[in-house]
């Protein structure tokens, strides 16, 4: 079996919205494609001082091939790996990926507001 090693999904462990989103990923990750870890608890490696600082601002995916995805692009990658391949391919295309990034920034800036109705009771 030629399966890609798990990618790290690093999220803010101090954020309830992020905790629920991470739990959603874990529930849907039946193939074990992600190591879902609050960035505050991530070991070194892969955690570095610079990465810890960056993770405080946005979700990060550390791919098995060494690439790092941040924010909206990280979310699109997660969707792809969880099986929503067509949706992820469409969202990854320009100009939609720019809208995904904008949407990510808006939701991240207003996590308490969006946390009231996103990732509730999934």
Q: What's the first-to-final CA gap in the chain, in angstroms?
A: 32
Residue 88 and residue 76 in contact, taking contact as beta carbons nearer than 8 Å: yes
Show the tokens assigned to 88.
Answer: 């992820």
- 83: domain CATH number? 3.40.30
Structural domain includes residue 1? no
Burial of 20 (0-12, 13-18, 19+ CB in 10 A): middle
Q: Is the pTM of this model over 0.85?
A: yes
Q: Is 119 left (phi over 0), alpha (psi -120 to 50) or beta?
A: left
Q: Is residue 93 part of a domain?
A: yes
Q: 96 lies in a domain?
A: yes
What would the mean pLDDT of 89-101 be, rounded to a whole number?
97
User: Residue 119 falls within a domain, yes or no?
Assistant: no
Domain presence at residue 121:
no
Q: Residue 88: what pLDDT?
A: 98
For residue 11, the enclosing domain spans 7-114
Domain total in the chain: 1
User: How much is the pLDDT for 122?
Assistant: 55
């Amino acid at each position: 079996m030629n399966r890609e090693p798990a990618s790290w999904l690093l999220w803010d462990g101090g954020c309830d919205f992020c905790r629920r989103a991470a739990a959603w990923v874990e529930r849907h990750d039946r193939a074990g494609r992600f190591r879902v870890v609050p960035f505050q608890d991530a070991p070194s490696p892969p955690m570095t001082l610079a990465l810890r600082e960056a993770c405080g601002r946005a979700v990060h995916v550390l791919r098995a091939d060494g690439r790092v995805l941040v924010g909206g692009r990280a979310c699109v990658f997660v969707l792809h790996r969880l099986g929503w391949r067509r949706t992820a391919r469409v969202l990854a295309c320009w100009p939609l990926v720019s809208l995904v990034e904008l949407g990510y920034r808006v939701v991240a800036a207003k996590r308490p507001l969006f946390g009231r109705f996103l990732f509730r009771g999934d």
